[in-house]
Amino acid sequence: MKDIKLTALIPPDLLQQFQDGFSEFTGMASLITDENGVPVTIGSGFTDFCTNLTRKSAIGCKRCEQCDKNGALETYRNKKPTVYRCHAGLIDYASPIIVNGKVIGSFIGGQVRTDPIDREAMTAIANDMQIDPEVYIFAAEKTKILPKKTIEKAAEFLYEMAHMLSELAYTNYLALTQSRKMENAARSQSAYIMDMSINMEKNVNEWISLAKEAVSSGNKDLMETAIKGMISKSGDVRSIIGDTVDYIRMSGGEVELKETVYSPRELLMLTAGNIKNTVKEKALSLNIKIDDTVPQHLLGDPGKIGQILNKIIMGAIAYSESPAIMMKALCRKESYSSIMDIEIIINGAKIPREVTDNLNDYFTGRSADDVIVRNAGSYLSPSLTAALAKRMSGRLEAENNENGECAFQLSIPQLEVRE
């Protein structure tokens, strides 16, 4: 992570497009720097005061870079946009670009003021940087005077854009680091990995297209909407990367079950609650019915079970605008264990039959590699969910019926725990 630079994760020309778009919409200067405050783009909307005077001075340039870095770090510490007065007396604002908890760059805006020029203070600054005070003051007086509220609003907008750039950089960071793991995976998985890589690249390219559309739209509202869509899009890319890595680990026997005593009722309620909080833009109906046969406590891996349920339901939602989902749970005795059966019935989701058929093929003797390759990139991640179920000695089946319903049946052996 320490060797990865901002420009290695986001192309400089794309950074420049975002920056130019921001300056055009706000009428203020902007700049993107690396983690040390050194510019990685050409300043947009820069004033003559900053470009040809302050930053042309060796002392001034060094102070500008330090101001840019300090402003972004202050934003990182406080988790909100930072508006500050730079060393030359103008108002700037900054937000950090963060990957994996590390600041790798800064998005800076401003070069404006809220008050008249303090000629005495400006003369001292000019003398310190060995610049003609009269020339310096004349250039300073040509900078824009704006209300504090306008500057704060621009700072909030820049904060959103910096957050989006952080998401893009993080996604590309994951793609870069995890692709190395993919290269070292077993030969039998190469087709699956290639398919996943193509799907991942497709999502990233779509994301960059959204970015370019956003900065060229000429409309601030459209740009903000596009930014939200891009942040949402990052979840798709991360999911693909995560599924690929999880499957590689599982197929190599690296993933161990973390068995613990848990409440199946609490697990189902928590899963449903998380899904409802995640999916707010769709008319989602999600109900739970827990049979009396389900014990108060079971011994198993609730994290893996929750992961399967989440992927099934979130995948089904992707195929529908307003799905009605029923999750039913019951338990039955089989030898020494309790088989927990969880049925998920989705009404209104048009899930392709080939997706459900491929999932069922995984448990019916067909070549697992063949099934996995055909499943790669599906919303439902059937290769991963099926592998998870199998890892727990369980089964996952799916069926489409004539009523427009799709039912998933997850059966996992667990041990009942009596108090």
Q: Which residues pair with 261 in a beta bridge?
A: 299
d(CA 132, CA 123): 8
Closest CA to 200 of 212, 192, 211, 188: 192
Q: % helix / strand / coil in the chain, to the nearest 5?
A: 55, 20, 25
d(CA 348, CA 177): 38
Tell the residue number behind the tokens 């070069």, with chain if given.
111
* Assigned CATH topology for domain 260-416: Heat Shock Protein 90 (3.30.565)
> What is the average per-residue pLDDT within 261-284?
82
d(CA 178, CA 168): 15
Q: Which pairs with CB-CB distance under 8 Å and at least 24 residues apart come from 225-233?
A: 227/160, 227/161, 227/164, 230/164, 230/167, 230/168, 231/163, 231/164, 231/167, 233/203, 233/206, 233/207
Q: Which pLDDT does position 379 carry in this prediction?
A: 44
Closest CA to 205 of 213, 194, 195: 213
Using the predicted structure, report yes or no on whether residue 191 has a pLDDT greater than 70: no
Tell me how far CA of residue 375 lies from CA of 1, 65, 260, 364, in angstroms: 32, 49, 31, 15
Which backbone phi and psi does 289 adopt, to 5 degrees? -130, 120
Q: Tell me the Ramachandran region of residue 402: left when phi exceeds 0, alpha when psi lies from -120 to 50, beta otherwise.
A: alpha
Tell the residue number behind the tokens 């459209």, with chain if given.
222
**Cβ(33)–Cβ(65) under 8 Å?**
yes
Write out pLDDT tens, residues 92-104: 998 888 888 888 8
Which backbone phi and psi does 345 adopt, to 5 degrees? -105, 120
Length of the chain: 419
At 320, is the secondary structure helix, strand, or coil?
A: coil
Q: Model's pTM, two decimal places?
A: 0.52
Residues 6+ apart with CB under 8 A from 397: 359, 360, 363, 408, 409
> What is the average per-residue pLDDT within 275-285?
72
For the chain, what percent of residues have pLDDT higher than 90?
16
At 180, is the secondary structure helix, strand, or coil?
A: helix
- DSSP for 153-169 reads HHHHHHHHHHHHHHHHH
pLDDT band for 175, please (50, 70, 90 cuts): low
Tell me how far CA of residue 68 lies from CA of 75, 147, 390, 409, in angstroms: 11, 22, 52, 55
Q: Does domain 6-165 have CATH number 3.40.50.300?
A: no
Q: Which pLDDT does position 41 carry in this prediction?
A: 92
Using the predicted structure, report yes or no on whether residue 74 has a pLDDT greater than 80: yes
At 255, is the secondary structure helix, strand, or coil?
A: coil
d(CA 153, CA 198): 39
For the chain, what percent of residues have pLDDT higher than 70?
70
Using the predicted structure, report yes or no on whether residue 340 has a pLDDT greater than 90: yes
d(CA 90, CA 97): 23
Closest CA to 286 of 297, 295, 276: 276
d(CA 325, CA 346): 5
Maximum average pLDDT range among 7-11, 120-124, 223-227: 120-124
